[in-house]
Structure 1
């Protein structure tokens, strides 16, 4: 177990979205289910009760078609700042009676957010390397999700503004027609 205490990884990523948006993507189950998981993994079910003592459960199918479950418990939740949860791969012997710890921190930066993900107490080097690759893929998907969401929001806002201008023109035209009719 002493070796596992040393095995950890840290990933820092700049995300072009506000800290509140990035935090919400990690804590709102409706958003989380849309992006969480590496690119080559299929999510079958995801439960995230984001509160201290709340449960995390992710049922997935890996690229080889094997069904897996990762479970954990939220240990720390600082709204907008930090989430800490345990992480256990239930079907893997290396993980039997072993929980690792994932911490995700969010920092305001100019034009976006710095996300710092730390995964500690991994059971072995192979697991650390696999998780490093997996977490980078997860964060790639998070960035894409937030970029698409931002673009959709901008398009909706633009469409709404266009409709508002068209409505104002119609009102002005109708007012002018009523004025001439008198």
Structure 2
């Protein structure tokens, strides 16, 4: 089971989730970049992730489609801004690929991965465009949902 860490946000519009994941950095990074693995853990259950397409490079697009219990799909297009293998991923929904602006940007996510004795210190920083978007993400269940999927990620990595 993941271990919670208490990491403060950098500013008022940021939400942070930090954990120690019982898996090596390379596996955790792969869990975030391999579409086959992402389908197995990305959405908080009972939701699913029927489609994941990634082009993991700065400027590359990403599409993650989540589906609720009724099969209603929620596409989440975005674009990678920074990619440092096994160290850092930065992506945003402000662009939907090929630097095409989205209609309603919501957040930019910075993920960092740090080796600590064969485990991974994992920090997800979600930077929102404004206080309303941050509040909406809290209302959606950011801490519960991101915490749940981090545990799901760890379980998938242990099975592979």
The bucket for the TM-score relative to the shorter chain is 0.7 to 0.9
TM-score by length of 1: 0.69
Q: 2:152 aligns with which of 130, 133, 141?
A: 141
Distance in 1 separating the partners of 2:70 and 2:39: 21
In proportion to residue count, which structure has more strand?
2
State how many pairs are aligned: 140
Q: Which residue does the alignment assign to 1:27?
A: 33
Alignment gaps of 5+ in structure 2: 1-10, 97-101
Alignment gaps of 5+ in structure 1: 150-182
TM-score by length of 2: 0.77
Are the equivalent residues in 2 in contact too, given 1:43–1:59 (CA < 8 A)? yes
Q: Which residue does the alignment assign to 2:105?
A: 98
Kindly name which structure, 1 or 2, has the bigger radius of gyration based on alpha carbons: 1
In proportion to residue count, which structure has more helix?
1
Deviations 1:135-163 (A, max 9, x none): 112101101111222xxxxxxxxxxxxxx
Kindly indicate whether residue 18 of structure 2 is the aligned counterpart of residue 9 of structure 1.
no
TM superposition shift of 1:49: 1.1
Q: 2:137 aligns with which of 127, 132, 140?
A: 127
TM superposition shift of 1:129: 3.8
The SS at the match of 1:6 is: coil
Distance in 2 separating the partners of 1:114 and 1:124: 24
Are the equivalent residues in 2 in contact too, given 1:8–1:128 (CA < 8 A)? no
Distance in 2 separating the partners of 1:6 and 1:40: 31
Q: Which residue does the alignment assign to 1:75?
A: 81
Q: Which residue does the alignment assign to 1:109?
A: 116
RMSD between aligned residues: 2.2
Q: 2:24 aligns with which of 3, 6, 18?
A: 18
TM superposition shift of 1:64: 5.4
| Distance change (3 Å), C-alpha of 1:136 and 1:129 | farther
The SS at the match of 2:125 is: strand
Q: Which residue does the alignment assign to 2:3?
A: none
The SS at the match of 1:52 is: coil
Are the equivalent residues in 1 in contact too, given 2:40–2:49 (CA < 8 A)? no
The SS at the match of 2:93 is: strand
After TM superposition, the runs of 4+ consecutive aligned structure 1 residues lying more than 6 A away are none
